[in-house]
Amino acid sequence: MAAAFGFVLAVALTPRQAVWAFAVDAAALLAVIRLARVPARFMLARLTIIVPFVTFALVIPFIASGEQMDVLGVGVSREGLWGTWNILAKAGLGATTSILLAATTEVPAILHGLTRLRVPPTLTMIAAFMIRYLELIADQLRRMRIAMTARGYDPRWLWQARPIAASAGALFIRSYERGERVHAAMLARGYAGAMPPLNQRTAGSREWLAAGALPLVAAAMAVAGLVVAT
Amino acid sequence: MTHPAVEIRDLTFTYPDGRQALRGVNLRVEHGQRVALLGPNGAGKTTLALHLNGIYTADSGSVQIGDLILADTSLAEVRRRVGLVFQDADDQLFMPTVRADVAFGPANLGLRGGELDARVAESLVAVGAADLAERAPHHLSGGERRRVSLATALAMRPDVLVCDEPTSGLDPAGRRELVAVLRGLAITQLLITHDLSFALELCERAVIVSGGTVVADGATADVLADEQLLETHRLSLPYGFNPATVGKRNPGA
Amino acid sequence: MHAPDGFLNAGTAVATGVLSAGTIGAALRQTREQLGDKQVPLAGLSAAFIFAAQMFNFPVAGGTTGHLLGGTLAAILLGPWVGAVVVTVVVVVQALAFADGGLTALGYNVLNMAVVTAFGGWAIFRLARRLLPDTAGGVVLATGLASGLSVVLAAMAFSIEWLFGATAPVPFDTVFGAMVGVHTLIGIGEGLISGMAVGAVLAVRPDLIYGARDLDRASAARKPVIGMRGFVIGGILVTMLMAVVVSQFAAPDPDGLERVATDQGFADSAADHALASGVFADYATAGVANQTLSLAIAGTVGVAITLALAFGLFLAVRDRRRESSPPSRTPV
């Protein structure tokens, strides 16, 4: 996880003119993806999450100010083009890294990684509970919607959304009340306010070395890019 | 052994909104007994269970587990002695993995390292769920969840096991597995249930709680044979089920 | 609103990160004080609810659907501190486990979606409740207003961040106009749904709503009568108003305003050259003539957001101080 953060950070810091630096970063990332055996189609499918932002990035040269140049007879901003490239490169690499992290790391490991990175344990515990109950609550929501649809409810306009909002309210109450029951269950098993240490796996030095390769490559590229630019 | 496993004396309890849930409950359970707690919905059975480990505090009366009277000072130990299995397994399985859930209780008791791992393994084996250790609880089936909840309670090595509707939502196979597990446990058991044949199969004694008090207490076969009693308290036997014949076919349990 | 990496520069990412971390750190302490050892299960389940609610899609018009942000809803239901923590957890996990939002963008994503909506929205909510009748209907209306406006606040916050840390030469006013315009529309949906949801909770368990704890049971039980049509029409009017006002600033060369600027001699003052260089990113503002105006808008908006946040935080801290004496209700 530290590796993922490090890589994305280094990529973010790379000056955009150093196109070759990004190429190296991308190659390194692809190598890791191959190693992790994550299917390409899966990665591409998940990457669609940044489509709205990509669209915005593509529009930039046309709405940006600054020195204009001609591309295929259309006036675009030179700075704007660089801006687009910058965003696409960093967002693309960043999103790919995130997707890779999400795809290869189980949630408990992600949360444990956070604790090791000094994130307050309360936050990670809340996150753990959230993840545990998310499917349950989302499922309850889905069933509520099915029940409403089965009774002929087919809203198209905002002001018809009252039953949906009402079911959201009902869902909150159910979730909160379940929270209180979970608390009772925790008390019943001796909970006194702090989570007890359960035996958790921590990363060995070999794993640190292996994982560290990726961000090191990106950091090297960032530094090189900065040096070349000056 | 001078003290009974569980002794409840004159327990009364009123909810914050004014509803009186328990109006003087008296109950005494000896070590090793299996008692079925029957009664209509809203009778106060779950409320009573939640008094046994101090989640609720009674307005008057007392709860005694073994030699320990329930009070603020004895809360932690009482909670170790009373293992509660909730009606909704999802309320009880709140950790990311089964292993973490089962470890939660004993870890709170101070177990660590190898000792903790051993306790977790022992509890999972006892309920036949050793292969589920690394699974996430929300990906388990209903029966698996129920057994894992049971394991989380057993991991505390309780003296008394209280189960709230343990067979609800289980398919016949799940039910069979649960009966086998409970039968194999040599500890005192208080089983809240609507499933009267389950009660007869496992428990030698049955108590009916209705309207906040105990209205019947005796051998399960006798209690179930009293049609008038059952009807008054909104209980009814499964179709074609005759407790008299069952009792004769399976002496003791 | 989950921005990916690369949209804002490193300096902005770090600055917003520090702000967010500080606020959430304080919020964690307040959450513990408010909820005691119930904090983990209650906050966790509420976070699951907010996450699920964000996946909700509600109809907007024809076949199009919208999604909730939920920051102010969380603040009104749980209190601003807990609300901020809950939405932060949602946003962070979305970035880490679902790749929704960049890892380096967490600083401003958390700031905009959790801190600004929770505290800014809370401030608006409290203000609205003071002006509206002290009934269930008042609470619902206040919720709707606060939730709707909080979305706009978040969009404004992003625009301000763009001013400082843009990575592409799109002028602040363009970004501001676009973001605020779009999010005003989104805000209508958010406001309506949030208001109605709170109404539903009020009808069953009014005691669960932090923002309505002062409401006595009798007035909470009286079912609020809200004209749905009225709310939507009002929302559209507000949107139109905002669109007219904002579009004046969004046009890269608004003739009317530029004339004013030249006439008054702003365009040539040495002062705005000094202002233009320095802290702001090179591209953040448009041509020389518009720099002062952009900065003026940015300044006003920035002050407004800061005021809203400060007021929200002030109220939140004052409430907590007042409540810190009584022990929790249940004896265990």
The residue whose two tokens read 């007021």 is C311
| Nearest by Cα to B104 from A132, C108, C261 | A132
Give B190-242 as a DSSP string: EEE-S-HHHHHHH-SEEEEEETTEEEEEEEHHHHHH-HHHHHHTT--PPTT--
Please give the residue that has the higher pLDDT: either B173 or B124. B124
Q: Do C58 and A122 touch (CB under 8 A)?
A: no
Distance CA B213, CA B12 (A): 9
Contacts of residue A210, Cβ cutoff 8 Å, sequence gap at least 6:
none
Residues of chain B with C-beta less than 8 angstroms from the C-beta of C331: 57, 72
Model confidence at C314: pLDDT above 70: yes
Same domain flag for A184 and A210: no
Distance CA A110, CA B139 (A): 19
A196 assigned to some structural domain: no
Domain C10-323 has CATH 3.40.640.10: no
Q: Do A186 and B94 touch (CB under 8 A)?
A: yes
Handedness of CA B163, B165, B171, B172 (dihedral sign): positive
3-state SS, one letter per residue, for chain C: CCCCCCCECHHHHHHHHHHHHHHHHHHHHHHHHHHHHHHHHHHHHHHHHHHHHHHCCEEEECCEEECCCCHHHHHHHHCHHHHHHHHHHHHHHHHHHHCCCCCCCHHHHHHHHHHHHHHHHHHHHHHHHHHCCCCHHHHHHHHHHHHHHHHHHHHHHHHHHHHHHECCCCCHHHHHHHHHHHHHHHHHHHHHHHHHHHHHHHHHCHHHCHHHCCCCHHHHHCCCCCCHHHHHHHHHHHHHHHHHHHHHHHCCCCHHHHHHHHHCCCCCCHHHHHHHCCCCCCCCCCCHHHHHHHHHHHHHHHHHHHHHHHHHHHHHHHHHHHHCCCCCCCCC
Model confidence at C85: pLDDT above 80: yes
**Residue B131 burial by CB count (10 A; 0-12/13-18/19+): exposed, middle or buried?**
exposed
* Chains adjacent to A (≥3 CB pairs closer than 8 angstroms): B, C
pLDDT at C196: 92
pLDDT at C294: 65
Distance CA B149, CA A202 (A): 27
Model confidence at C252: pLDDT above 50: no
Instruction: Say whether residue C208 is in contact with chain B using an 8 A CB cutoff.
Output: no
Question: Distance, in angstroms, between A130 CA and closest chain B CA?
Answer: 10
Closest partner CB to A107 (pick from B96, B117, B156): B96
Same domain flag for A156 and A179: yes
Task: Give the model confidence (pLDDT) of B166-207 as tens digits.
Answer: 998 888 888 888 999 999 998 999 999 988 989 999 999 999
pLDDT at C273: 46
Task: Give the model confidence (pLDDT) of B36-66 as tens digits.
Answer: 999 888 788 999 999 998 999 999 999 999 9
- Domain residues of chain C, as ranges? 10-323
Residue of chain B whose Cα is closest to the Cα of C217: B17
Distance CA C145, CA C105 (A): 28
Model confidence at B223: pLDDT above 80: yes
**Residue A119 burial by CB count (10 A; 0-12/13-18/19+): exposed, middle or buried?**
middle
A211 assigned to some structural domain: yes
ipTM confidence score? 0.86
Q: Which two tokens stand for residue C282?
A: 């090179």
Contact criterion met (CB below 8 Å) for A20 and A88: no
Residues of chain A with C-beta less than 8 angstroms from the C-beta of B105: 189-190
Please give the residue that has the higher pLDDT: either C34 or C100. C34
Distance CA A190, CA B85 (A): 14
Q: Do A197 and B84 touch (CB under 8 A)?
A: no
Residues of chain B with C-beta less than 8 angstroms from the C-beta of A108: 96-97, 100
Distance CA C263, CA B215 (A): 94
Structurally, chain A folds into a number of domains equal to 2
| Nearest by Cα to B231 from B24, B40, B25, B17 | B40
- Angle (CA) C283 C157 A16, round 5°: 35
- Domain range spanning residue A62? 2-105+202-229
Residue of chain C whose Cα is closest to the Cα of B15: C330
Q: Do A185 and B91 touch (CB under 8 A)?
A: yes
Q: Do A126 and C89 touch (CB under 8 A)?
A: yes
Q: Do B75 and C331 touch (CB under 8 A)?
A: no
Contacts of residue C134, Cβ cutoff 8 Å, sequence gap at least 6:
C214, C215, C219
Q: Which two tokens stand for residue B4?
A: 């009974």
Q: Do C332 and B57 touch (CB under 8 A)?
A: yes
Question: Distance, in angstroms, between C22 CA and closest chain B CA?
Answer: 28
Q: Do B94 and A199 touch (CB under 8 A)?
A: no
Distance CA C201, CA A173 (A): 7
Model confidence at B118: pLDDT above 60: yes
- Between the alpha carbon of residue A184 and those of residues A82, B189, C42, C326, C332, the distances in Å are 57, 20, 11, 21, 9
3-state SS, one letter per residue, for A122-152: HHHHHHHHHHHHHHHHHHHHHHHHHHHHHCC
Same domain flag for A95 and A14: yes
Lowest-pLDDT choice from A118-122, B67-71, C226-230, C296-300: C226-230
What residue type is C56 in one-letter code? F
| Nearest by Cα to B172 from B193, B197, B155 | B197
Name residues 53-112 of chain B within 8 A of A (Cβ): 53-55, 76, 79-80, 82, 84, 86, 88, 90-92, 94-97, 100, 103-105, 107-109, 112
Which CATH number applies to B6-249: 3.20.20.70, 3.40.50.720, 3.40.50.800, 3.40.50.300?
3.40.50.300
pLDDT at A156: 75
CB atoms within 10 A of CB B165: 20
Name residues 148-177 of chain C within 8 A of B (Cβ): none
Distance CA C8, CA C158 (A): 10
Contact criterion met (CB below 8 Å) for B158 and B82: yes
pLDDT band (50, 70, 90) for residue B35: very high
Please give the residue that has the higher pLDDT: either C233 or B7. B7
Instruction: Say whether residue B76 is in contact with chain C using an 8 A CB cutoff.
Output: no
Q: Which two tokens stand for residue B227?
A: 């049609």
A215 assigned to some structural domain: yes
- Angle (CA) B202 B204 B210, round 5°: 95
CA dihedral A29, A31, A37, A42 (to 10 degrees): 40
CB atoms within 10 A of CB B7: 17
Residues of chain B with C-beta less than 8 angstroms from the C-beta of C332: 54-55, 57, 75
Closest partner CB to C99 (pick from A98, A123, A129): A98
- What phi and psi, each to the nearest 5 degrees, are found at residue B65? -110, 110
Residue of chain C whose Cα is closest to the Cα of A58: C168
- Residue B162, H or E segment: strand B160-164
Give me the mean pLDDT over the C319-331 stretch: 59
* Alpha helical stretches, state H, B62-158: 75-81, 89-92, 98-109, 113-126, 142-154
Residue of chain C whose Cα is closest to the Cα of B54: C332
Task: Give the model confidence (pLDDT) of C112-163 as tens digits.
Answer: 999 999 999 999 999 888 888 888 888 999 999 999 999 999 988 888 888 8
pLDDT at A90: 73
Instruction: Say whether residue B179 is in contact with chain C using an 8 A CB cutoff.
Output: no
Contacts of residue B114, Cβ cutoff 8 Å, sequence gap at least 6:
none
Please give the residue that has the higher pLDDT: either B126 or C221. B126
Handedness of CA B231, B237, B242, B243 (dihedral sign): negative
Please give the residue that has the higher pLDDT: either C307 or A138. A138
pLDDT band (50, 70, 90) for residue C2: confident
Name residues 28-87 of chain C within 8 A of B (Cβ): 41
Model confidence at C229: pLDDT above 80: no
Q: Which two tokens stand for residue C307?
A: 């005021």
Cα Rg of chain C, angstroms: 21
Residues of chain A with C-beta less than 8 angstroms from the C-beta of B56: none
Instruction: Say whether residue B57 is in contact with chain C using an 8 A CB cutoff.
Output: yes
Averaged over successive runs of 10 residues, the pLDDT of chain A (230 residues) comes to: 66 59 69 70 71 68 63 64 72 73 69 76 91 92 88 77 87 95 93 76 60 68 67
Closest partner CB to C168 (pick from A8, A64, A193): A64
Instruction: Say whether residue C93 is in contact with chain A using an 8 A CB cutoff.
Output: yes
Best residue in A159, A172, A173 to probe C by mutation, most C CBs within 10 Å? A172
Distance CA A18, CA C134 (A): 61
Q: Do A179 and C42 touch (CB under 8 A)?
A: yes
Q: Which two tokens stand for residue A87?
A: 């965003």
pLDDT at A210: 63
pLDDT at C274: 45
pLDDT band (50, 70, 90) for residue C244: low
Question: Distance, in angstroms, between C105 CA and closest chain B CA?
Answer: 27
Q: Which two tokens stand for residue B194?
A: 């609507």
Residues of chain A with C-beta less than 8 angstroms from the C-beta of B123: none
Does pTM surpass 0.90? no
- Angle (CA) B40 B45 B51, round 5°: 165
Give me the mean pLDDT over the C52-73 stretch: 82
Contact criterion met (CB below 8 Å) for B216 and B207: yes
Summary mean pLDDT of chain C: 76
Name residues 30-89 of chain A within 8 A of B (Cβ): none
Q: Do C5 and A155 touch (CB under 8 A)?
A: no
Instruction: Say whether residue A208 is in contact with chain C using an 8 A CB cutoff.
Output: no
